[in-house]
Amino acid sequence: MIEHELQQLTKELSRTFFHRDFTHQISYNKRLRSSGGRYLLKSGNIEINPLVEQELGLEALIGVIKHELCHYHLHQTGRGYRHQDQDFKQLLHQVGGSRFVDRMSEPNFIYECSACHHRYPRMRKMNTKRYVCGKCHGKLILLD
């Protein structure tokens, strides 16, 4: 989906589910890695991870857009727009937005505790001298 179509979809979702207009911009941001999207407080714009649609499909993309529109409309009206706020939780449930996005890619690194053998999948490499197993405090080893 090109950005013009993304803008149109967002405007339609905003009118249909929130009964308000979306007057800012929505765009793809390839640099987003760990989230499906984000609402920018200062500008009022929304950025979406393009991998959401590519790897998870249109339904997941719509869920992410609804989630970000909850932040957008609550912030624009001066209500609680953060994840822990009741206003946000209620509106997200009301419109059927997604709370989380499924993992879009496989973890790059897998660490295992040498004592209890619990595994820790991670996207980024971590310092095994600084971190230990959260269950038994054993030493972590990077698996190949």
CB atoms within 10 A of CB 124: 9
Q: Which of 12, 68, 106, 112 is catalytic?
A: 68
CA-CA distance, 102 to 53, in Å (whole number)? Answer: 12
The reply to whether 55 belongs to the active site is no
CA distances from 69 to 45, 63, 65 (A): 10, 10, 6
Nearest to 67 by CA among 99, 43, 44, 40: 99
Active site residue ranges: 68
